[in-house]
Amino acid sequence: MVFSSNVFLFLFLPIFLGLYYLSGQRYRNALLLLASYIFYAWWRVDFLALFAGVTLWNYWIGLKVGTAGVRSKPAQRWLLLGVAVDLGILGYFKYANFGVDSINAIMTSFGLEPFILTHVLLPIGISFYIFESISYIIDVYRGDTPATRNLIDFAAFVAIFPHLIAGPVLRFKDLADQFNHRTHTLDKFSEGCTRFMQGFIKKVFIADTLAVVADHCFALQNPTTGDAWLGALAYTAQLYFDFSGYSDMAIGLGLMMGFRFMENFKQPYISQSITEFWRRWHISLSTWLRDYLYITLGGNRGGTVATYRNLFLTMLLGGLWHGANFTYIIWGAWHGMWLAIERALGLDTNPQRFNPIKWAFTFLLVVVGWVIFRAENLDVAARMYGAMFSFADWQLSELNRANLTSLQVATLAVAYVTLAFFGLRDFYRNAKPSAKASPVAVHADGSLSLDWGLYVTRALVLLLFVASILKLSAQSYSPFLYFQF
């Protein structure tokens, strides 16, 4: 089941919210767990057993680590066991096919018989719930959170359906208090509805329209320079509006249930360095990699060379986390290399002034990286790069012109105007989130006044949301891009 589907919008969500608010406070976490398991099982019932098994395993490991004592030797042994099993499960389901295929390619080159392995199906969301489970037992070991004895709360944390499939990557220590005590107000619910609708519009109106352009350009066997750059720019916008749209919907659903999740995007395409980009893009993952991988590797404690190595390895493994393909590894290495270079140059990664040259160079690096991230294999990436940097023909190919519609061109223009407007607006506000407004203000004398601007904005969002639903009903199924990770 996906958020951008009629089944979710008109069946699952209304029934869940109705039961959620009719039930008492003490039963809501259990109801949330049950609903999340139904949400996950809608895809495949059999993988629900694996999901529940991983949850039980990490709950038990957390208790063992907590009983052994913070940072003690016995706790360390339990932690290593827990992480080893978690990574073993992730490694088998996510990388077994890739590993066997790579070994077979080497063996066949020497004339040897290849291994035969039944294709391993990748469970949806496994990367996210494994990472969240690992962060929990590490936090218990470090003493950042006590081991919970409430299995329902822990299982609901791992399974909570708003973020289950594609993040944000949450941490138990950040949500533990909210599982025990969370507020439910009309303002919070209204804010959540608006945020959900904004994400839905991003996904259906912009990302899905640009997906057709990107897919066609990357499929061309002989792209021109114009084709390749069009495909790269279309995918750059598609990925942002698709993934940030999902994050908006997840955060909005959380608000409807009284939870407040961390922000996952802060206008990343306004960044003036790759370091700044990773402070703004997929923030929950970048902070997870920093806190649980970079610091574990030694961070910046081992000297200059070790710091550069740790930065590079963190991003290399971050790339591998995205998928079992050499394209993701190279993409991670690309970002890791630039992070190390920027640190070596002592670049200002928290600029107070907008420098168009630094922004343009950073944006170019990001777009170049997205090409290999999107490419199905190295051959496709090489074909796209060859066309992009040959500068031979900036005209679109006849095949591309025949498939490109005026709506797609207009959507691409709207996407980049939107990115520029909100990016520059947030930059000149020093990227500080504005206070949440309420449509009704209560004055000291008890009188009320209405914020008509906010009402108009929400009415516009509602109209676009309705139009998005109509568009969704007319188009074919389009999953979120990060479902594959």
**Residues 164, 169: Cα–Cα separation, whole Å:** 9
How would DSSP label each residue in 89-137? HHHHHHHHHHHHHHHHHHHHHTTPPPP--PPPPPPTTHHHHHHHHHHHH
| Cα–chain center distance at 304 | 31
What whole-number distance in Å separates Cα of residue 224 and Cα of residue 276? 32
Which of 119, 322, 335, 443 is catalytic? The answer is: 322
**How distant is the alpha carbon of residue 289 from its chain centre?**
13
Our separate counts of H helices and E strands in the chain read 21, 2
Token code pair at residue 164: 């289950």
Sign of CA pseudo-dihedral 32, 36, 39, 44? negative
What is the secondary structure of 429-459 as a DSSP string? TTTPPPPPP-SEEE-TTS-EEE-HHHHHHHH
62-73 burial code (b ≥16 CB/10 A, e <16) = bbbbbebeeeee
Helical axes 126-142 vs 172-180, angle rounded to 10°: 90
Q: Active site includes 184?
A: no
Looking at residue 141, its amino acid is Y
The residues, any chain, with a CB within 8 Å of residue 68's CB and separated by 6 or more, are 74, 75, 78
Q: Buried (b) or exposed (e) across 273-312, using 16+ Cβ within 10 A?
A: bbbbbbbbbbbbbbbbbebbbbeebebeeeeeeebbbbbb
Distance CA 362, CA 33 (A): 42
If you ran DSSP here, which 8-state letter would residue 371 be given? H
Distances (CA, A) of 239 to 136, 189, 271: 29, 28, 16
Catalytic residues: 322
